[in-house]
Chain A
Amino acid sequence: MLELLKTVIQNCNGYGEVRYHHRIHTAIEARNSTLTKVEHRTLSGAGVRVLVDGCWGFVSTNDVSETGLKRALFEAETAAKTGAALRKTKVNLAPAAQAQGEFIYYEQSEEPDIATKIQTVLDAEEMIRKSSALVTGSITMYTQYEDEKFIVNSHGASTHILDNKPSFHVIATVARDDQLETGLKSVGVTGSWRDLLKQSDLNTLAKEAVELAIKKLDAGYAKGGQYTVILDPALVGVLAHEAIGHTVEADFVLSGSVVQGKIEQQVASKLVTMVDDGTVNGAVGMVLVDDEGVLGQKTTIIESGILKAYLHSRESASIFQAEPRGNARAFTYLDEPLIRMTNTFVLPGEDNLDDMIEGIKDGFLLKDLGQGGQADSTAEFMFGVAEAYRITNGKLGEMVKGVTISGQAFDVLKSVDAVSADFLMEMGAGHCGKFQLAKVDSGGPYLRCKVTVGGHHD
């Protein structure tokens, strides 16, 4: 395959890049004692991107014969030439470490057959129903992306990648009178089926989801306002990814995001150091080679409160005279590479969680993402919180529900006055969306900070 792609690229009249991507996407879902979905999808083809006269052209095709690829290349070149007339600022590419050779992220031989996976999904669904008589809804889902890629470009990349990203979701719904509540738990890895099960026992996840939903039945609502809170590693991960991470993606910076022109400025408390690192072994956002054929490297975004770097594609790195470090990603062969995060996290500190709680007079311990999370290029964010516990005079109290947090993420990071030594990165079960999907991970330590809590008014 690599030889075929090289032959195609030889004929390119500018910079050319061919990415053959063969994906098998498996989805299994059980609901309320019924197997509701088993899908096995093959999506295979090549994304051909060229840079001619300072403009991109991109054509995707599922015809990967030599003729088909050459035709796609020709069409991409024609598209680029058409666009070049309109494009005001010409695109240049920064030099980058080009990937060569094999990158195998998992042990293929460890994959069980589809029957085993179906049975595991059904067993975990049964566990939800068995856990409590209050359960009225039980959903378990398995999603797997099995990817094989060959990437060749005219700047020397020539690489073969085997990647596997499975995840598992559990949703329990409980009812009492006319009240319905939901508990959600999930897990994801880069690795084999065995690696996924090692990360978390599915039956435990099922029980936890039910316990959470039942706790919510008895929970009251919080009163909205400004509070000192402790964010758990999951919420710190969401903040790092959604509210901070997107603003430092260089394409958003160029559009005028809030961090434009702020490199080397203080943007967070001195206690905060945040990185994006595609090389974390087994994390869902593991990307050793990106879809421009560039080798993945760790990027320190914020170091002791000082903004150090943006995340780049080769195009944006050329504008900022920075080094591309493996953040140009495409979800399928149909997509062109965009600047994306990989594994984004805040580094741990030295504080102890109990001491952090003790220091709060009137606030909350907030755990895990509830439904949804959004943020703007202004770093203003809003996240649903799955579990919220009152803290009064340094003591952890009862659970409240329906809590959302909002604020300006850099203001929140500036208000950080304690960072725990405990650290977790496990937000990788879902997807990040930015025109295309991407599998990412995020996490961090516990952070004590100030946010606006949205709740109900008396």
Chain B
Amino acid sequence: MTKTNSDLLGGSALNSSELCTDLIEQAVKMGAKDAEVFHIKSRTLEAVFEKNDLQVPKGDNYQGLGIRVHISGAGGVKQGFAATNVLSPDSLHSTLETALAIAKASPSDPYHWIPDPQPVKSVEAIYDSTAREMTLQDVVKEGAQLVDAARGCDSRITLDSARYAVDILEKTIVNSKGIHLKEKSSVFSCIGLGFARDGDDISSFDAEVAVKCHYSEIDPAQTGIRLAEKVISALGAAAVPSFRGSIIITPYAAEELVVDPIFFACNAQNVQSGRSKWANMLGAKVLSPLISITDDPTIPGAVGSTAFDREGVPPKTLAVIEEGVLNHYFYNSYTAQKDDTASNGRASGGDDSIPGISTTNLIVAPGEVSLNDMIASCSKGLLINRFSGNVDHVSGDFSGVVKGGQYIENGKIKHPVKEVMIAGNIYDLLKQVAAVSKEYIETEDAKLPYIQIEGCSVTGR
């Protein structure tokens, strides 16, 4: 599958650095005050399984870039952006012209900013050369392990789909202020989606995912077994009557119920556009003192780790929330300029979009209580394995169905639940956290414990 796209670069042997530098020079010649080129080269090998069988082995080689230009305007800077994966000289020239045309048609904005170079320290162990050596045949074999292991657990399991993929990503960023950086990383991922069926009893749908930078850290068979255990334990679900009580949010459900709303409220773009509940709250207590959250881009071998962000700014480790107190918002260069501060390196995105904002590796600090003690403390409660619903990040109101949930009564897990809905306001509920578990689970780019919350409404039937 290995191949190069060098013949696409107009027959020349330009590498990504030279290509980016050349475009920056052209942009400046054509009238740009500042310019930035973000280049991506990637290779993906993937095996897709459906209905317990191999569906298709897939391969892709991609190369593309995005050009951001700034031109002077009255009272500020005008910005334009265009991206392409057609890297012929004609196409590159027309992409640059489009970016400039967009800049000319846009109003001036005093906060547009292309950052200056800063010292950058590379992150260790985010590239595993095994990724380069693997073939489609290897990828198919790895994926088959997931399918066979899940099916081998119990004949009642249906794997709706499963995937194993290997990605190699090389990103290059060059700007007219002197930033010139490159980083190479690998990602191995496997995912299984399925359910169990025992006669007319169909479990709720569930997923199990593993995403790592290193081949040796992924065990597709274990992923399959964990999925099988989850869906089998959701068989025999029964309805429960409505109650107001305790909920325990598992790390699987916490991504959507806890991490996403907190990130939304800390995202400087939402703060500045009047959509964050936590605007003007730096230094204030926003959550229970049991909640501490760190965002750490420097963890060796972690999928969210990086030496520089989408704009070439090195991200710092941030103690975002310490014992419930809000310490930081997440900034890219634009939002930082607007708040008259420095970017903390959270610019995100690919070659085909202007920089957004994201976290790196988000860690919710584990607590001191065991999951078993948490369950034992519930007189009436619900263990939320998966949440399928909507969370209004602006207001914090959420409402949705609990999937693969377990009903707890008098400190004991009683049975899986079906057709149970939960509702409330997540920002309010996270102020009344009863306990955070010592156990935690690593997801793609987060480490999350179990969180117990009191006073949540549970609608049964």
Query: Which A residues fall within an 8 A CB radius of B?
Result: 25, 27, 31-32, 34-45, 49, 55-63, 65, 67-68, 71, 75-76, 78-80, 82-83, 86-89, 113-115, 118-119, 122, 136-137, 139, 173, 175, 178-182, 224-226, 251-252, 254-256, 258, 334, 336, 370-374, 376-378, 380, 382, 384, 401-404, 406-407, 435, 452, 454-457
* Closest residue of B by beta carbon distance from A457: B457
Determine which residue in A58, A60, A79, A404 has the highest number of CB atoms from chain B within 10 A of its CB, and name it.
A79
Q: What is the minimal beta-carbon distance from B216 to any residue of chain A, in angstroms?
A: 23
Contacts of B397 in A (CB 8 A): 401-402
Determine which residue in A35, A57, A435 has the highest number of CB atoms from chain B within 10 A of its CB, and name it.
A35
* Closest residue of B by beta carbon distance from A34: B109
B273 at the interface (CB under 8 A from A): yes
Beta-carbon contact of B86 and A39 below 8 Å: no
Beta-carbon contact of B83 and A41 below 8 Å: yes
B117 at the interface (CB under 8 A from A): no
Contacts of A89 in B (CB 8 A): 53
Assembly CA distance A13 to B161 (angstroms): 28
One of A55, A114, A175, A224 near B423 (C-beta < 8 A): A224
One of A40, A82, A225 near B99 (C-beta < 8 A): A40
Contacts of A251 in B (CB 8 A): 50-51
Beta-carbon contact of A406 and B58 below 8 Å: no
B354 at the interface (CB under 8 A from A): yes
Assembly CA distance A256 to B160 (angstroms): 8
One of B8, B202, B395, B401 near A179 (C-beta < 8 A): B395
Can you pick out 21 interface pairs between chain A and chain B where the beta carbons lie within 8 Å of each other? A38-B106, A41-B66, A43-B84, A45-B85, A55-B56, A62-B62, A75-B1, A75-B59, A78-B136, A83-B47, A113-B105, A137-B274, A173-B394, A182-B392, A226-B461, A258-B202, A376-B195, A377-B205, A378-B205, A380-B204, A402-B397
Assembly CA distance A373 to B389 (angstroms): 7
Beta-carbon contact of B392 and A35 below 8 Å: no
Contacts of B79 in A (CB 8 A): 38
* Closest residue of B by beta carbon distance from A454: B421
Q: What is the minimal beta-carbon distance from A406 to any residue of chain B, in angstroms?
A: 5
Assembly CA distance A454 to B387 (angstroms): 14
B419 at the interface (CB under 8 A from A): yes
Contacts of A454 in B (CB 8 A): 399-400, 421, 423, 459
Q: What is the minimal beta-carbon distance from B145 to any residue of chain A, in angstroms?
A: 12
B57 at the interface (CB under 8 A from A): yes
Assembly CA distance A36 to B272 (angstroms): 12
Beta-carbon contact of A372 and B389 below 8 Å: yes
Assembly CA distance A457 to B380 (angstroms): 16
Determine which residue in B64, B99, B102, B161 has the highest number of CB atoms from chain A within 10 A of its CB, and name it.
B102
Contacts of A373 in B (CB 8 A): 390
B389-411 contact mask (Cβ, 8 Å, vs A): 1 or 0: 11110110101110100000000
Contacts of A80 in B (CB 8 A): 57
Contacts of A59 in B (CB 8 A): 58-60
A40-B82, A59-B59, A89-B53 known; A175 vs B274 contact (CB < 8 Å): yes
Beta-carbon contact of A404 and B98 below 8 Å: no
Assembly CA distance A364 to B138 (angstroms): 55
Contacts of B61 in A (CB 8 A): 61-62
B155 at the interface (CB under 8 A from A): no
A63-B5, A180-B275, A384-B390 known; A40 vs B400 contact (CB < 8 Å): no
Assembly CA distance A406 to B7 (angstroms): 54
Contacts of A44 in B (CB 8 A): 84-86
Beta-carbon contact of B391 and A380 below 8 Å: no
Contacts of B202 in A (CB 8 A): 256, 258, 378
Contacts of B105 in A (CB 8 A): 38, 113-115, 118-119
Assembly CA distance A334 to B59 (angstroms): 9
Beta-carbon contact of A404 and B423 below 8 Å: yes
Beta-carbon contact of A57 and B56 below 8 Å: yes
A59-B60, A79-B58, A452-B421 known; A42 vs B204 contact (CB < 8 Å): no
Assembly CA distance A226 to B205 (angstroms): 24
